[in-house]
Structure 1
Amino acid sequence: MSMKFFFLSILLFITGNIYSRQRIVSLNGAISEMLCALGLENAIVGVDVTSNYPASLLQKNKVGHNRTISAEGILALRPTLVLGMKDQLKPEVAEQLSAANVKVHLLPQEYSVAGTRSLLVQVANATGAGEKAKQVEAAFSKQYLALHVTPVKKKVLFIYARGTGSMMVSGTGTPVDKMIQLAGAQNAVTEFTGFKQLSAESLVAANPDVILLFDSGLQSIGGADGLLKVPGVAQTNAGRNKKVVSMDGQFLSGFGLRLPEAVNELNKKLNQ
Structure 2
Amino acid sequence: MFRTDSSPRVSTRLAGGIALLAAVIALAGCAAPAAEAIDADCPAASIPLASLDLAENPRTATGPSTACLASHAIEPIAADDAPDLPVTVTDAEGRAVEITDVSRILPVDISGTIAATVFGLGLGDAVVGRDSSTSFDGTEELPVVTKSGHTLNAEAILELAPTVMLTDTSIGPKEVRQQLRDAGVAVVVVSSERRADTVSDLVGEIAAALGVPGRGDALAEQLDADVVAASAEAAEIAPVAASDRPRMLFLYVRGNANVYYIFGRDSGADSLIEAVGGVDVASEIGWEGMKPMTAEALVAAQPDVVVMMTDGLASVGGVDGLLDRIPALQQTPAGEHRRVVDMADAEILSFGPRTAEVIRALARAVYAPGTGAEAAAGEGPAVGEGPAS
The reply to whether TM is greater than 0.5 is yes
- Paired positions, count: 253
Tell me the distance in 2 between the aligned counterparts of 1:116 and 1:141.
7
Higher relative contact order (CA 8 A, sep 6+): 2
1:28-59 per-position Cα deviation (integer Å, ceiling 9, x unaligned):
21110111122222211111111112x22122
**Contact 1:52/1:58 (CA < 8 Å) preserved in 2?**
yes
Of 184-193 and 237-246, deviating more is 184-193
Q: Report which of the two structures shows the higher radius of gyration computed on alpha carbons.
A: 1
- Residue deviations 1:195-221, cap 9 Å, x none? 222233332222211111011111111
Query: 8 Å contact 2:105–2:164 — kept in the other structure?
Result: yes
1:103-152 per-residue CA deviation (whole Å, 9 max, x = no partner) reads 01110144345521121121112112333334433432332343222246
Residues 1:50 and 1:232: Cα distance change in structure 2 (over 3 Å): same
List gaps (5 residues or longer) in structure 2.
Answer: 1-99, 240-244, 369-389
Aligned to 2:142: 60
Conservation of the 8 A alpha-carbon contact between 1:26 and 1:47: yes
- Return the TM-score normalized by structure 2: 0.60
**What one-letter code is carried by the residue in structure 2 that aligns with 1:193?**
E
Q: Classify the secondary structure of the residue corresponding to 1:62.
A: coil
Q: Which is further off, 125-134 or 231-240? A: 125-134
Residue in 2 that maps onto 1:188: 281
User: Is the contact made by 1:173 and 1:194 (CA closer than 8 Å) also made in structure 2?
Assistant: yes
1:65-89 deviation line (CA, Å, top 9, x unaligned): 6852132231121111110124543
Identity among equivalent positions (%) equals 30
Q: Partner of 1:168 in structure 2?
A: 261
| Contact kept in structure 2, 1:211 and 1:238, CA below 8 Å | yes
Question: 159, 166, 171: which is aligned to 1:83?
Answer: 166
Counterpart Cα distance in 2 of 1:123 and 1:112: 16
Rounded Cα–Cα distance in structure 1 between residues aligned with 2:197 and 2:328: 37
Aligned equivalent of 1:132: 215
Work out whether residues 112 and 255 of structure 1, in 8 Å CA contact, stay in contact via their aligned partners in 2. Answer: yes
On the 8 A contact 1:157/1:187 being kept in 2, the answer is yes
- Does 1:146 pair with 2:229? yes
Distance in structure 2 (CA, Å) of the matches to 1:174 and 1:21:
32
Tell me the amino acid that sits aligned with residue 51 of structure 1: T
User: Once the 2 structures are TM-superposed, how far is the Cα of residue 235 of structure 1 from its aligned partner?
Assistant: 1.5
Match of 1:219 in 2: 314
Counterpart residue type for residue 183 of structure 1: V
CA distance in structure 1 between the aligned counterparts of 2:274 and 2:248, rounded to whole angstroms:
10
1:238 positional shift: 0.4
Q: Which residue of 2 aligns with 1:13?
A: none
One-letter amino acid matched to 2:348: L
Once residues 210 and 316 of structure 2 are traced to their aligned partners in structure 1, the CA distance between those partners, rounded to angstroms, is: 41
Q: Is the aligned partner of 1:155 residue 2:250?
A: no
Query: 2: CA distance between counterparts of 1:100 and 1:110?
Result: 28
Q: How does 1:200-215 map to 2 (within 5 A)?
A: 200-215=295-310
Asked whether the equivalents of residues 32 and 51 of structure 1 are also in contact (C-alpha less than 8 Å), the reply is: yes
Residue from 18, 23, 34 that aligns with 2:104: 23
Counterpart code for 1:133: G
Match of 1:72 among 150, 155, 158: 155
Instruction: Point out the structure with the larger helix share.
Output: 1
Take 2:292 and 2:204, find their aligned partners in 1: how far apart are those partners? 36
Partner of 1:5: none
CA–CA distance in structure 1, aligned partners of residues 263 and 227 of structure 2: 25
The answer on 1:249 being equivalent to 2:332 is: no
| Cα distance in 2 between the residues matched to 1:175 and 1:253 | 7
2 CA distance for matches of 1:250 and 1:264?
16
Q: 1:194 deviation in Å?
A: 2.3
Which residue of structure 1 lines up, in the alignment, with residue 365 of structure 2? 269
- Indicate if the aligned counterparts of 1:111 and 1:178 stay in contact, CA closer than 8 A: no
Residues 174 and 114 (structure 1), Cα distance of their counterparts in 2 relative to 1, 3 Å cut:
closer
The 4+ residue runs of structure 1 with deviation greater than 4 A are: none
Separation of aligned partners in 2, 1:199 and 1:52: 33
Taking the aligned partners of 1:201 and 1:133, their CA distance within structure 2 comes to 45
The structural deviation recorded for 1:173 is 1.2
CA RMSD in angstroms, aligned pairs only: 2.2
Give the alignment's TM-score, normalised by structure 1.
0.84
